[in-house]
Amino acid sequence: MEATEVKEKVLIALDEIRPFLASDGGDISLVAIEENDTLVKVQLHGACVGCSVNQMTLKSGVEMTIKKHVPQIERVVSVDA
């Protein structure tokens, strides 16, 4: 899978997740795709930033959805602004 195709699929996955985050006053954006397209860096926004369960959301929601669209992704991490 080419890098541009990986990015497109990751963005589709984030669009799938976005309504759930928005319902709680949050959002998410793609920061980078690194390590030979196996690592996705995202940034959480709004209410997600201070939420006590954001790491659970990141792993069970965001990472799972991205891996569904792009199986080669191994990790999803959140980075600060």
pLDDT of 81 over the 80 cut: no
Task: State how far the alpha carbon of 40 is from the alpha carbons of 23, 24, 25, 56, in Å.
Answer: 23, 23, 22, 16
Q: Which of the four pLDDT bands, split at 50, 70 and 90, describes residue 57?
A: confident
Considering the segment(s) 3-76 as one domain, its CATH architecture is 2-Layer Sandwich (3.30)
Residue 48 has pLDDT above 90, yes or no: no
Mean pLDDT of 35-59: 90
Helix (H) / strand (E) element for 77: namely strand 75-78
pLDDT of residue 10: 97
Q: Where are the domains of the chain?
A: 3-76
Determine the average pLDDT of the residues in 17-35: 94
For tokens 């569904």, the residue is: 68
| CB-based contact 66:6 (threshold 8 Å) | no
b/e for 15-45, b at 16 or more Cβ within 10 A? eebeeebeeeebbbeeeebeeebeebebbbe
